[in-house]
Amino acid sequence: MKRIVFFIILSFFTKFLTAQNIKQDIAEIKAQFKWINNQKDFQSVYFENDEFTDQIPSEGCELSVFYKNDTIYKIIQKDAVSYAVFTTEFYLKNNQVNFVYRKEENFRISPDDESDIKFETKYEERVYFKNKKIIRHLEKGTSVLGNNLDYQKLFAEYKPLIDTKIIYGKQYNLLQGTWKNDDNDKDWFIIKGLAKQQYNDSDFVTYYRLWFDGRYLWLHNTENPDDGDSKFEILLLNDKKLEMQDRLSGEVLFYSKVE
């Protein structure tokens, strides 16, 4: 009997301490949230449509990233359809997502004045994380998208793209423009942002999303994502020349930038 009472008391105190820890964690997250939104000196980078996703809504999407000294603090994603705007805000500490706020807003444009747009919030979601695990999940209203979005997975997908523009900005800037194969003038491509348009002999265009990890250039086929990602080792990159090796075939490709 004494052992049963002991375990009941132990269970009670464990739950009590867990609740207290969660309360403290949320207080720290709220303080970080307030600090981030009070900052005035963040730098920012911007992504649009297939630069960061294969799932482009009817009216487009964008990603704005706010950072300082290569550390990401806030990401705002906006997705638009004909009747609504979905906004997701990621808040980070030590490059880990610890809070997400999402809202879904319907809008109506006045037939007499296109600049007169009225928004109505239909759904709000607040998700608190610790060590990538949810510690509190709050919702208000009914979601059109559903409440099973994996925000940690989304951030993991965005992180290499963000790093390409922030950490590897020099290489990112050098890659911009039109490149033509030195050995085959019918093989050429255009890079704009993180979007790559690849042309071949028949002028057929293949669309890719790219990112750079400091050594390898990765290409993701945005039209056929099931094809898997291609990996190229950058051997030389400057404002005139690009040499890279296909890590699957071993072939080394030589390109020159077209002015």
The pLDDT value recorded for residue 185 is 86
The pLDDT value recorded for residue 119 is 79
How far is residue 213's CA from residue 176's CA, in Å, rounded to a whole number? 16
With a pLDDT cut of 90, the percent of the chain lying above it is 74
The pLDDT value recorded for residue 150 is 94
pLDDT tens-digit profile of 31-55?
A: 999 999 999 999 999 999 999 999 8
pLDDT tens-digit profile of 197-245?
A: 999 876 688 999 999 999 999 999 998 888 889 999 999 999 999 999 9
The pLDDT value recorded for residue 225 is 86
What's the rounded mean pLDDT across residues 104-115?
A: 75
pTM: 0.86
The pLDDT value recorded for residue 204 is 81
Task: List beta partners, residue 61.
Answer: 79
How far is residue 124's CA from residue 153's CA, in Å, rounded to a whole number? 20
CB atoms within 10 A of CB 70: 11
What's the rounded mean pLDDT across residues 91-96?
A: 94
Beta-sheet pairing, 43-48 with 61-68 = antiparallel
What's the rounded mean pLDDT across residues 252-257?
A: 97
The pLDDT value recorded for residue 200 is 80
Q: Give the CA distances from residue 106 to residues 37, 84, 85, 103, 147, in Å, rounded to whole numbers and listed in that order.
A: 25, 4, 6, 10, 17
